[in-house]
Structure 1
Amino acid sequence: MILGIGHDIVHLPRFVSLLHTRSHRRVARLAQRVLHPVYERPQFDAALAAAAAAAAATTNVSDKVAGGKNKELVRAAHLLANAWACKEALYKALDETDQPDCRFNAWYKHKPGTNKTTTTTRTTRNTGKPAIACDAYAAAHPAETFWLSVSHDGDYLTAFVVREGKSLQ
């Protein structure tokens, strides 16, 4: 039974601009609030470090100013935008009573086999369908699964989440 649905769309150049124009401290704070510390943050930090190294190695001033030519910066922006859209869609699929306790960095997206948590095995049942999970939420709501669909075209990325409830019989 469908218990909730959520959708979000993001403009990818906005995230590229955000990473290019904001201080490292503000970007780190946003990443800390949005990205799961184990399953998402390491990839983002690696892409951001590679972007900084690429920018430092660039001798072309216009490339440093534009930021958009730095493929690693664009990759980091896409990782952050993807997580943001998925978690905004997830938030919209939650009950109003659960929304105040929703912490974006506690949730992570996955496919079967990408990590070995019990939540992954339980929620996806090895179907291969992408899902989004939070171990604490799953423990409190064992009959619920969150299915995820992400699509991008050009400058836009969209995420759709379906919150499914199953009978515990």
Structure 2
Amino acid sequence: MILGIGVDIVHLPRITSLVTRRGRLPLAKRILSLKELDEFNQRFPIEHLAIDQQVKYLGSRWCIKEAVYKALYPIHKLEWKQVTVGKDQGKPILHVHNGKAYGIKRSHVSLSHDGEYAISQVVLEG
């Protein structure tokens, strides 16, 4: 049974603007789970290097988490850090903290980038 479907699109220059105004770490700490924040800090130990890759990482996580939120809303209202995005052979995978309590048995996520945009779709099964 499908619990919900969510889709989101992010204009990456918007994420660049947030990083420029507030810094990368405040944004990262706000939206990333502890596991993701660890990975982010390992991949990007120096703030001013690989800015485009940092924005792509943060924008992708933002996009996927918004899609998860939309898939469960209005029954459940998740917070950013309740969703962890990982990879399995390059494909994004989801872990929703306490997901069984929300009825989630399986999740499917697709992410795509094109120029200044990232788009994701999430299907949650119960």
State the secondary structure of the residue aligned to 2:98: helix
Which 5+ residue runs of structure 1 have no aligned equivalent? 55-71, 114-127
* Alignment RMSD (CA, Å): 2.3
Alignment match, 1:4? 4
Contact kept? 1:146, 1:162, Cα under 8 Å: yes
Alignment match, 1:28? 25
Count of matched residue pairs: 126
State the secondary structure of the residue aligned to 2:75: coil
Measured after TM superposition, the shift of residue 107 of structure 1 is 1.1
Q: Percent identity?
A: 37
Greater share of helix: 1
- Amino acid aligned to 1:14: R
Q: Which digits, 9 at most, give the CA deviation of each residue in 1:46-82, with x for residues without a partner?
A: 4554243x4xxxxxxxxxxxxxxxxx11111111100
Alignment match, 2:86? 110
Contact kept? 1:148, 1:162, Cα under 8 Å: yes
- Amino acid aligned to 2:108: W
The separation in 1 between residues aligned to 2:12 and 2:66, in whole angstroms, is 15
Counterpart pick for 2:41 among 39, 45, 52 = 45
TM-score normalised by length of structure 2: 0.83
State the secondary structure of the residue aligned to 2:74: coil
Counterpart pick for 2:105 among 124, 144, 149 = 144
Cα 1:106/1:94, change in 2 over 3 Å: same
The separation in 2 between residues aligned to 1:44 and 1:111, in whole angstroms, is 13
Cα 1:77/1:160, change in 2 over 3 Å: same
State the secondary structure of the residue aligned to 1:50: coil
The separation in 1 between residues aligned to 2:87 and 2:44, in whole angstroms, is 24
Find runs of 4+ consecutive structure 1 residues off by over 6 angstroms: none
Contact kept? 1:32, 1:105, Cα under 8 Å: no
TM-score normalised by length of structure 1: 0.64
